[in-house]
Amino acid sequence: MNVAVPMPVDVRVMDALSRLLMLGLMGLSMFIVGAWAYQHPAWPVRSLVLVGDVVHQSAPGMRAQLNGRVAGSFLSVDVKRVQHLVEDMPWVRKAVVQRAFPNRLRITVEEHHARAWWGEAGAPRLVNSYGELFEASANDAASDVNQWAILDGPPEQARDIYQAYLSLAEAVKPLGKRVEALRMSQQGGWHAALSGGVHLDLGRGSPADITTRVQPFVSTVGELTQRYQGDLEAADLRYPNGYALRLRGVTTGNK
């Protein structure tokens, strides 16, 4: 008959310590190897892959702009820093940077789509399709820049101004006019310039208020221009129940 004899306590303790020491050495070795691979120059970023509907940027141009400003290997490069640097480049609205094994960075870019000037025609400050302001060279803008309107006002109101412009542009289409400029004063008053030298005082209010005010004007002004045989020159829409009208070559014309 065999009887198991328990190991002495000191032997069991030494055995456990030996195991822990072995595991610690293995972990340390893995850490050292990982740290070496993380920083080793054998893992450089060799190329950039540019993804998205990109017109104003290119992978070679982007790499040239990042050259000397980004440090680290493929594993250690700070992708958040790369993202911020890319988003500071002209025409870039948003960027997402990802590692692509074995040695590439995949950069997905959303560019600004310019829709209007801000302040004055030809200025470097533009308005994108979200109503956001950004700065870029007008020389790189789209071919339809001559059709862009000029928007202006408090910069923090840029989104509202852009929305008001879109609503107004749609509202005046029945007149055969397009919006050439829309400005919002510091006091919240709106003034629009239409093609053909037409000026509109629109009063104060939200973009929805402006649209509500313009619609009855658009639906009735044609009758007045025909009656008095004069082209529209200006209108004041600040009245609660009507508007004042000025026609070219006509001395009176109030409604």
Q: Do residues 168 and 178 lie in contact, with contact meaning Cβ atoms separated by under 8 Å? A: no
pLDDT at residue 28, rounded to an integer: 56
pLDDT at residue 119, rounded to an integer: 96
Q: What one-character DSSP code corresponds to residue 4?
A: P
Nearest one of 177, 164, 153 to 210, comparing CA atoms: 164
Q: Do residues 94 and 87 lie in contact, with contact meaning Cβ atoms separated by under 8 Å? A: yes
> DSSP letters of 113-157?
-EEEEESSTT-SEEEETTS-EEE--GGGS-TTGGGPEEEES-GGG
pLDDT at residue 42, rounded to an integer: 52
Angle at 130 between CA 127 and CA 132, to 5 degrees: 45
Prediction pTM value: 0.78
pLDDT at residue 101, rounded to an integer: 85
Q: What one-character DSSP code corresponds to residue 89?
A: S
Q: Hunting for tokens 């533009």 — which residue is that? A: 126
Angstrom CA distances, 206 to 81, 160, 162, 201, 215, stand at: 39, 8, 12, 14, 15
pLDDT at residue 111, rounded to an integer: 95
In sequence order, what are the beta bridge partners of 199? 193, 234
Q: How many CA atoms lie within 13 A of 140 on its CB side?
A: 16
Q: Do residues 127 and 118 lie in contact, with contact meaning Cβ atoms separated by under 8 Å? A: yes
At 235 the three-state DSSP class reads strand
pLDDT at residue 76, rounded to an integer: 82
Contacts of 179 (CB under 8 A, 6+ apart): 149, 165, 168, 169, 172, 192, 193, 194
pLDDT at residue 17, rounded to an integer: 64
Which pLDDT tens digits describe the chain residue by residue (255 residues)?
555 556 565 555 566 666 666 766 665 555 454 444 445 555 687 888 999 988 898 889 998 998 888 878 778 889 999 999 999 999 999 999 999 888 889 999 999 999 999 999 988 999 999 999 999 987 777 667 888 999 999 999 999 999 999 999 999 999 999 999 999 999 999 999 999 999 999 999 999 999 999 999 999 999 999 998 889 999 999 998 889 999 988 876 444
